[in-house]
Structures are given as C-alpha cells and as structure tokens.
C-alpha cells in the first residue's frame, strides 16, 4: 500500500489526462491492488487476468480502459493505457527522501578525479583515479568505482555497486545493489589441456536512461567495449558476456544469459531465463519468450522454445517417449513410403 497526501479524483484525472467517471471530489489517499484496495485508495486494471476482481473491488476508484469502464462499480479514470497511468501516478507521489549533497567523510578519492559539488557519495565508497562524475550523481554506500570511469549527470548507483576500470554510464541511469560492471569475460584458450586466460583490454559503455537490476553482471570487452544502448532496461541476475552489443530501448528480464560477442537489436524483448548463444545477431524488434534457448541468428518476430511445466507423471511419460522419437520417425517414414507405393500401384492398375 502506497500512501500520500490526499488528492481529488479531478486533480488526478487532470494530471493523467484521463476521463473521469464518477465523483470528482472523491479523495484518494493511497494506491493498492485491485483485490486488496479499500476506501480512499485507487487501483488499476491493466491485465485481463485480474478482471475477475473488478466487480467486487472496494477501491474508491479504478484506472481502467474504455473497454472495462462499463464494468467498473466505483469511480473510474478512463485511459488508453491503465498501467502507464498508474506508473505516472506513483511517480507523482514518490516520497523518496531528498539526498544530502557532498561526500561522506569515509569516502576515498583517487588522483585526478572530477567531482562536482552537486553529487552525493555515501559512506565507505572508493573512487579510483581519473573518475569523472556529472552533476547530481548519487553513489550509495560501499560502492567501488575503478580507474578511468565516467558517470553521467543525475545517474544513481545504489549501495554496493562495483565498477571495474574503464566503465562509462550516461545520464539519468539507475544501477541497483550488487551489480558488477566491467569484470573480465569468460575468455580462455586451451594449450595442451591447460586454460590460458585472455587479457580483457576493453571496457563497458552504457548509454543514457539505462536501468540495471540487482546482482546483474556485465563483462568488459576483450578488445573493444561491451555496449548497452540508450533506454535499455535490464532486470536482476542477468549475465551479459564480453563484447555484447544491446540496441536502444531493449528489455531483458531476470536470469537471462547472453554469451559473448552477440549483437541484439533495438526494441528487443528478452524473457526471463532465456539463454542466448554467442556470436549471433538478433534483429530489431525480436521478442524471445521466457526460458527459451537461442543458438542461431534471428530476424524480426517472436520466438519460443523450452517445455512448460507439466504434472510430474505426464512429464516422465513424455521423457520416456522422447528417447524413441528417432525410431518412431524412421517407422513413420517407412509407413508413408508404403502408403505412397500402394497409392501409385492402385493408380497404375486403374489406368
């Protein structure tokens, strides 16, 4: 539940550009889910799966599409995109505490750094040499920023983010706790059974307005930089290998893994748990559904693989049958050939 200073539905509707259906003077004190909302709270219906909760909702108002407006038993704000409207409403009443500018006395700063007075740097953070920060940068407690790193204006690093050397982040970025940016990629050569490590000489370049989730790892390039385009959003626990390029405004959900030297286009959607092989290309607007495995280049479209969960007994039977697929295919081809021969023989006899 998200509480804030009360606003009238009329004021909220004007802010969202929504059409008001109901009492314009109704006061809203908080935001809650459609199922659990009560008096004085506003909710939203953005997914048909939750439509079953609309007739019985106790919310004072609901943000709905025009298709659902007639089903709403309470006050309604009607918009083309209820989920987007909710995001805007929540941001309007964001109660995040303003941060104090300046450096905590425990911060360690290397040589030749550029640090504006408008930044905020938390306790026990370490900045290497030649670090350059933009105006209004916020760095949480316990972060480590390597040599020759740059962070653009008004970007924020939550606590315990680690940047290796030669990492650059654009403006208005957000990187969550535990993320590691610029570690060595998984690059080795084998010599007589022994693994010889490839020195990684590149860095990581991240564009403007990029959000990176908690405990995500992005490897530095082996020779050239790993690159993340403007407006990309990356969820928690994502692995991005060395030399990967991700185009602008793509979205990658949690636990996805992208192997090295793969190029992903703009506006791509990568579902949770997806695995993408190295040295391939995904065109713009490719959509990979969750838990899919991709081992070759793809053009524009939606792609899926993997097996959804089934009852255990049925799954065991399917696995057992899977072992005989090749034999079954051979038998089917033989049967098709016999049928084809029989049909041809019948035609010949008729002639």
Could you read off the pLDDT of 106-157 as tens digits, one per residue? 999 999 999 999 999 999 999 999 999 999 999 999 999 999 999 999 999 9
Q: Are residues 268 and 324 in the same domain?
A: no
Whether 226 and 240 have beta carbons less than 8 Å apart is answered as: yes
Q: Are residues 333 and 250 in the same domain?
A: no
Domain end position, chosen among 61, 92, 123:
92
Residue 168 lies in a domain: yes
Answering whether pTM is above 0.75, one says yes
Residue 319 lies in a domain: yes
Residue 241 lies in a domain: yes
Q: At 91, is the pLDDT very low, low, confident or very high (cuts 50, 70, 90)? A: confident
Q: Are residues 177 and 216 in the same domain?
A: yes
Task: Give which of 81, 86, 61, 82 is closest to 72, Cα–Cα.
Answer: 61
Q: Are residues 115 and 48 in the same domain?
A: no
Residue 98 lies in a domain: no
The number of folded domains in the chain is 3
* Mean pLDDT computed over 1-12: 80
> Residue 84: which domain range?
2-92
CA distance 261 to 191: 22
113/321: higher pLDDT: 113
Q: Are residues 191 and 261 in the same domain?
A: yes
Q: Among all residues, which ones are annotated catalytic?
A: 242
Whether 230 and 249 have beta carbons less than 8 Å apart is answered as: yes
Q: Are residues 86 and 166 in the same domain?
A: no
Which two three-digit tokens encode residue 70? 């007639």
Residue 97 confidence (pLDDT): 67
pLDDT above 90: residue 2: no
Mean pLDDT of the chain: 94
Residue 213 confidence (pLDDT): 98
Q: At 345, is the pLDDT very low, low, confident or very high (cuts 50, 70, 90)? A: confident
Instruction: Please state, for a pLDDT cut of 70, what percent of the chain lies above it.
Output: 97
Whether 203 and 185 have beta carbons less than 8 Å apart is answered as: no
CA distance 278 to 200: 17
Residue 175 lies in a domain: yes
Chain mean position to CA 113: 32
CA distance 247 to 335: 49
Segment 101-105 long-range contacts (CB within 8 Å, at least 24 positions apart)? 104/141
Q: Are residues 10 and 53 in the same domain?
A: yes
Whether 9 and 75 have beta carbons less than 8 Å apart is answered as: yes
**Residue 50 is part of a domain; what is its CATH number?**
3.40.1390.10
Domain end position, chosen among 58, 92, 126:
92
Domain end position, chosen among 64, 92, 120:
92
pLDDT tens string 274-320: 999 999 999 999 999 999 999 999 998 999 998 788 899 998 998 88
Whether 282 and 262 have beta carbons less than 8 Å apart is answered as: yes
pLDDT above 90: residue 201: yes
Task: Give which of 284, 216, 279 is closest to 242, Cα–Cα.
Answer: 279
CA distance 268 to 45: 26
CA distance 2 to 214: 23
Q: Are residues 77 and 206 in the same domain?
A: no
Residue 95 confidence (pLDDT): 65
Q: Are residues 267 and 244 in the same domain?
A: yes
Distances (CA, A) of 225 to 31, 231, 249: 43, 18, 19
pLDDT above 80: residue 94: no
CA distance 97 to 236: 24
């Amino acid at each position: 539940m998200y509480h804030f200073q009360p606003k009238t539905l009329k004021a909220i509707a004007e802010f969202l550009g929504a059409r008001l259906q109901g009492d314009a003077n109704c006061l809203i004190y908080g935001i809650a889910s459609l199922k659990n909302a009560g008096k004085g709270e506003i909710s939203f219906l953005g997914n048909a799966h939750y439509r079953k909760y609309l007739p019985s909702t106790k919310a004072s108002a609901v943000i709905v599409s025009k298709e659902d407006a007639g089903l709403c038993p309470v006050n309604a704000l009607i918009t083309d995109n209820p989920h987007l409207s909710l995001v805007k409403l929540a941001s309007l009443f964001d109660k995040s505490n303003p941060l104090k500018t300046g450096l905590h006395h425990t911060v360690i700063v290397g040589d030749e750094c550029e640090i504006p007075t408008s930044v905020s740097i938390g306790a026990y953070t370490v900045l290497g040499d030649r670090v350059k920060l933009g105006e209004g940068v916020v760095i949480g407690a316990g972060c480590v920023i390597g040599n020759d790193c740059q962070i653009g204006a008004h970007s924020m690093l939550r606590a315990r983010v680690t940047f290796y050397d030669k990492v650059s982040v654009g403006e208005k970025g957000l990187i969550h706790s535990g993320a590691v940016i610029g570690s060595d990629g998984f690059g080795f050569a084998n010599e007589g059974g022994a693994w010889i490590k490839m020195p990684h000489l590149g860095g990581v370049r991240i564009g403007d307005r990029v959000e990176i989730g908690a405990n995500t790892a992005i490897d530095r390039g082996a020779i050239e930089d790993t690159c993340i385009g403007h407006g990309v959003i990356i969820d928690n626990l994502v692995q991005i290998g060395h030399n990967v390029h991700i185009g602008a405004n793509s979205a990658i959900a949690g636990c996805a893994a992208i192997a090295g030297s793969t190029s992903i286009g703009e506006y791509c959607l990568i579902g949770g748990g997806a695995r993408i092989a190295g040295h391939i290309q995904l065109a713009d607007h490719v959509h990979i559904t969750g838990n899919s495995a991709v081992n070759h280049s793809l053009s524009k479209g939606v792609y899926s693989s993997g097996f959804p969960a089934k009852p255990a007994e049925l799954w065991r039977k399917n696995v057992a049958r899977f072992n005989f697929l090749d034999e079954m295919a051979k038998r089917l081809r033989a049967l098709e050939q016999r049928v084809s021969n029989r049909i041809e023989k019948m035609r010949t006899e008729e002639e």
